[in-house]
Structure 1
């Protein structure tokens, strides 16, 4: 009985962690694009 009850909770945990990882990855990509944009702007300013 305990084993059967534990399985669904572990599945839910794995799903939640997967979603969290996806969100973290999306945020990381967003931060990277923003940093790249800022970097390109800084380079343009330095060149001029």
Structure 2
């Protein structure tokens, strides 16, 4: 997931690993369109570890 702050509004983009359907959090966000932003940076090596 990645987000962009554009003119004071947050644009959220994410995927379900290339699957044709949206991840579950997208359905939750559409049902309740309120978010709390917490920034967390994950180093690339943590993402590639088995």
Q: TM-score scaled to structure 2, two decimals?
A: 0.21
Larger helix fraction of residues: 1
Larger radius of gyration: 1
Q: TM-score scaled to structure 1, two decimals?
A: 0.22
Larger strand fraction of residues: 2
The structure showing larger relative contact order (alpha-carbon pairs under 8 Å, at least 6 residues apart) is: 2
